[in-house]
Amino acid sequence: MARLPRLTVPGYPHHIIQRGNNRQAIFAATADYQMLLGLLDENARKFGVALHAYVLMSNHFHLLATPSTLEALPQMMQAVGRRYVRYFNDRQARSGTLWEGRYRSTLIDTERYLLACMAYIDLNPVRAGLVGDPKDYPWSSHGHHVGLRPDRLITPHPLYWALGNTPFAREAAYAELTRAGISPEQQDALTRSALSGWALGDEKFVADLQRRTERRVQKNQAGRPVAPVKN
């Protein structure tokens, strides 16, 4: 069966996952993390992608981003991926692929899942046992969202701004949101949707999204009844 094209629609938040090939490490030193962040910053601005959240783990990374055009996100990811592989291979005296195929991504329902997806991304290092608190992990957007350090890579989403009327109120509200965590069901839904490429949201969201793209946005339901044939 032919592989479906990626689901990309301008103006919607996209959850993106890029993994190392065979789960291998994609960073070997502090400079590598800094290089990837620099490439993301440069190319997000160049192609018109608003980055709302990120986390760089040892063998993969997550992004939450809204592209301004149909081609903005694939262009950004292609430019970042190619340049980082050349850089990493040169530093490590290696050759060949670094990524586990193409990046995975999908669209998420802003109202239901955007803040949950931000928390999901920021809590990755905690789930991995690397830190006890997401604020202690240096390679994520969490520090920016809770007011610990400015991050020029981040464009806050309007839902983040709506958390409070002042920077302090927004930062405190987001810190509390991440402390509360997300449910196992939300975590599973966010992971599965990004890896499968199917949109994540309620029926209204999916129906509205389907009107904006020719690409099917949700998997057909198994066992859907077939309409009777009229004689």
Tell me, what's the pLDDT at 214? 86
Please, where are the H alpha helices in 93-183?
A: 110-122, 124-127, 142-145, 158-161, 167-180
Q: Residue 108: which of 192, 50, 221 has the closest Cα?
A: 192
- β-strand partners of 64: 15, 53
- For the chain, give the longest Cα–Cα distance: 70
Global pTM value? 0.91
Q: What is the pLDDT of residues 14-49, one digit of tens each?
A: 999 999 999 999 999 999 999 999 999 999 999 999
The pLDDT value given to residue 228 = 35
Domains of the chain listed by start with CATH number: 14-201 (3.30.70.1290)
Give bridge partners of residue 65 from the DSSP assignment.
14, 51
Per residue in 171-208, pLDDT tens? 999 999 999 999 999 999 999 999 999 999 999 999 99
Q: What is the pLDDT of residues 89-141, one digit of tens each?
A: 999 999 999 999 899 999 999 999 999 999 999 999 999 999 999 999 999 99
Residue of higher predicted confidence among 143 and 227: 143
